[in-house]
Amino acid sequence: MPAKKKIIIYGGAFDPPHKGHFALMKAALRIAPAALYIVPGFRSPFKDFPAAPYKDRAAMLKDGLKAEGLIGRHKGGRTRITVHPFEFKQKRLTYTWRTVDFFKKLHPDAERYFLMGSDCIETFHRWKHYRRILSKAVLLAGRRPGFGLKNLAGVPYVQLKGRFPLITSAALKAALFAGRRPRGLLPATFSYIARKGLYLGALRRRLKKTLTPERFAHTAAVTDLALELGLRYGADPLRAALAGLLHDAARDLPPRALVRYAARSRLRAPGLNEMLKKAPLLLHSYAGADLAAKRFGVKDRSVLNAIRQHTLGSRKPDLLSKIIYVADLAACDRSFPEAGTVAALARKDLDAAYLRANYVKLIYASRAGWRHPESAKVWNSLRTREKNR
Ligand SMILES: [Fe+2]
Ligand SMILES: [Fe+2]
C-alpha cells in the first residue's frame, strides 16, 4: 500500500514572522509533506492601532519563504507551500480545532500534522477542544531552549530534530516600536516593515517632523525605558510605545501657544486657571494627549491618561501611567542626579520608583517657586498608601 500523503498546518499570529518560524518550517519539511499550509490568524484589531494587517503578514511570510529558499526559484523538495487565508476569512478569532477541521475536509485521506513550538505544547491541554485537534492531526513540535522533551500533560507529539531559537513576539515588537532592528528578523522582513512604516514606523516618521531633534531624542529615550519597564511589569508594548512616543507631542509649543491651545481646545486640567498664570508649560501634557487623539488618532484611554498624567502624576495611576511618569523622569537622556537612582529603583519596584519620582519633581517645583496644588495632593495620597502597603 502506498504511504499516505502528509500535510502540515502551521497556525500562528506571524506578527511579524521571524527566524524562529522559518527554522521550524525548514525542520518540518524533513518529513517530506506534500503540502505545508501557513495559516496566519485573524488579529482582533486594537481599537485604534491594529496589528500588522493580514495582507502585510502574508506578504512578509512569502518574502521570508523566498529569502530562505523555501519557495520560488530555489524551490526545495516537492512540498507545495501556501499562505492560507482560512482564519483571516473568518473575520474573527478562530480556534485551532476549526482550522484543523477545515483542512481535514480539504485533505480527508492525508496524514495531517499541526506544527508548533514546544512552548505551545506546555499549554496545549488548555486549548479549546484539544482532544478533537489530536483526533484529526498529529502535533509536530520543535524544541525551544528552556522547554523540555517530556510528554507534557499526556499530550503526544512528534519531536522535530534540532533546537529552535526562542524569540518572543512581545520583545520583537518592543524593539520594532522603538525603531530598532531586532536580530530575530530576516533582513527581508525588516526592510518590508521599514518600507511600509509598520509597527509605528509611520508614526515615528510623522512625529520626528514635528519635534526638535533634542525632543525627539528624549522621546526615544523615554520610549526605550517605557518598553523595558512594560516588558518587565506586563504592560502592552504597543500602548507603552505609543504613550512614550507621544508624551511630549506638545512640549515644543511655547508657553503662550500652550495658553492659546488650552483656550481653543477647551482643555481640562486640575487647577487650570492657576496653571495658566503660573506654569503654563505644565499644560503640555494635556495638550499632548489632545494632539495624540486628534492628530495621531489614538483613542485608547489608558494611553491618553498616561500622557496627560506625566506632568502632575495621578492619585490613582494605572500601570501605564506609572511607567510613563517614571520613564520620563529617569530616561537615559536625563542628566540630573536622581534620574539614575529612580531608573534603578524602577527595575526593582515600580511603585517605589513612582513615589520617588513624584518626590523629586515636588522638590524641584518648590525650588522653582511654585508647586501645583494637585501635585501636593498626589504626593500626600501616594504617601498614605505607601505607609499602608
Ligand atoms: Fe513632558
Ligand atoms: Fe518628557
Banded model confidence at residue 334, pLDDT cuts 50, 70, 90: confident
At 353, which CATH number? 1.10.3210.10
Average pLDDT over residues 338-347: 95
Query: What local confidence, expressed as pLDDT, does residue 50 receive?
Result: 54
On the CB side of 368, CA atoms within 13 Å amount to: 11
Query: What local confidence, expressed as pLDDT, does residue 155 receive?
Result: 74
Confidence check: pLDDT of 135 > 50: yes
Query: What local confidence, expressed as pLDDT, does residue 61 receive?
Result: 96
Per the CB < 8 A criterion, the answer to whether 312 and 375 are in contact is yes
Per residue in 352-371, pLDDT (tens digit) is 999 999 999 999 988 888 88
Distance 175 CA to ligand 2 centre (A): 20
Is 306 in the same domain as 161?
no
Report which residue type is found at 50.
Answer: P
Backbone Cα Rg of the chain: 25
Residue 350 belongs to some domain of the structure: yes
Question: What gap in Å lies between CA 25 and CA 30, rounded to an integer?
Answer: 9
Distance 351 CA to ligand 1 centre (A): 20
Query: DSSP 3-state assignment of 298?
Result: coil
Distance 258 CA to ligand 1 centre (A): 13
Query: What local confidence, expressed as pLDDT, does residue 145 receive?
Result: 67
Confidence check: pLDDT of 111 > 60: yes
Is 209 in the same domain as 166?
no
Query: What local confidence, expressed as pLDDT, does residue 13 receive?
Result: 87
**Strand 138-143 with 35-40, pairing:** unpaired
Query: What local confidence, expressed as pLDDT, does residue 74 receive?
Result: 45
Confidence check: pLDDT of 45 > 70: no
Is 273 in the same domain as 374?
yes
Residue 103 belongs to some domain of the structure: yes
Average pLDDT over residues 27-40: 93
The domain tally of the chain equals 2
Per residue in 52-73, pLDDT (tens digit) is 889 999 999 999 999 998 886 5
Which residue reads 503578514 in cell numbers?
Answer: 57
Ligand approaching nearest to the C-alpha of 331: 2
Query: What local confidence, expressed as pLDDT, does residue 165 receive?
Result: 81
Is 260 in the same domain as 112?
no
Query: DSSP 3-state assignment of 116?
Result: strand
Model confidence pTM above 0.85: yes
Residue 194 belongs to some domain of the structure: no
Query: What local confidence, expressed as pLDDT, does residue 95 receive?
Result: 87
Beta bridge partners of 38: 10, 83
Average pLDDT over residues 239-243: 96
Q: Which residues make up the environment of ion ligand 2, defined by Cβ < 5 Å?
A: 248, 328
Which range has the worst mean pLDDT, 149-153, 311-315, 332-336?
149-153
Beta bridge partners of 8: 36, 113
Query: DSSP 3-state assignment of 117?
Result: strand
Is 279 in the same domain as 332?
yes
Query: What local confidence, expressed as pLDDT, does residue 260 receive?
Result: 96
Query: What local confidence, expressed as pLDDT, does residue 277 receive?
Result: 92
Distance 136 CA to ligand 2 centre (A): 54
Query: What local confidence, expressed as pLDDT, does residue 126 receive?
Result: 83
Is 19 in the same domain as 86?
yes
Question: What gap in Å lies between CA 219 and CA 327, rounded to an integer?
Answer: 10
Distance 176 CA to ligand 1 centre (A): 23
Residue 192 belongs to some domain of the structure: no
Query: What local confidence, expressed as pLDDT, does residue 46 receive?
Result: 47
Confidence check: pLDDT of 151 > 80: no
Last residue of a domain, one of 173, 191, 210: 173
Query: What local confidence, expressed as pLDDT, does residue 167 receive?
Result: 85
Average pLDDT over residues 220-237: 95
Query: What local confidence, expressed as pLDDT, does residue 336 receive?
Result: 85
Closest CA to 219 of 231, 228, 211: 211
At 85, which CATH number? 3.40.50.620
Ligand approaching nearest to the C-alpha of 310: 1
Confidence check: pLDDT of 117 > 80: no
Closest CA to 58 of 45, 42, 34: 42
Distance 235 CA to ligand 1 centre (A): 20
Is 147 in the same domain as 213?
no
Banded model confidence at residue 44, pLDDT cuts 50, 70, 90: low
Is 158 in the same domain as 216?
no
Is 228 in the same domain as 291?
yes
More confident residue, 87 or 122: 87
Query: What local confidence, expressed as pLDDT, does residue 315 receive?
Result: 93
Question: What gap in Å lies between CA 64 and CA 71, rounded to an integer?
Answer: 9
Residue 91 belongs to some domain of the structure: yes
Q: What percent of the chain has pLDDT over 90?
A: 67
Banded model confidence at residue 77, pLDDT cuts 50, 70, 90: low
Query: What local confidence, expressed as pLDDT, does residue 48 receive?
Result: 44
Distance 313 CA to ligand 1 centre (A): 11
Closest CA to 221 of 185, 179, 170, 282: 179
Residue 180 belongs to some domain of the structure: no
Is 149 in the same domain as 290?
no
Residue 327 belongs to some domain of the structure: yes
Per the CB < 8 A criterion, the answer to whether 247 and 285 are in contact is yes
Per the CB < 8 A criterion, the answer to whether 72 and 66 are in contact is yes
Residue 187 belongs to some domain of the structure: no
Is 169 in the same domain as 204?
no
Per the CB < 8 A criterion, the answer to whether 122 and 152 are in contact is yes
Is 168 in the same domain as 252?
no
Banded model confidence at residue 47, pLDDT cuts 50, 70, 90: very low
Question: What gap in Å lies between CA 355 and CA 40, rounded to an integer?
Answer: 43
Average pLDDT across the chain, whole number: 89
Per residue in 175-223, pLDDT (tens digit) is 999 999 999 999 999 999 999 999 999 999 999 999 999 999 999 999 9
Closest CA to 24 of 147, 173, 180: 147
Host domain of residue 161: 6-173
Confidence check: pLDDT of 152 > 80: no
Report which residue type is found at 103.
Answer: F
Distance 197 CA to ligand 1 centre (A): 26
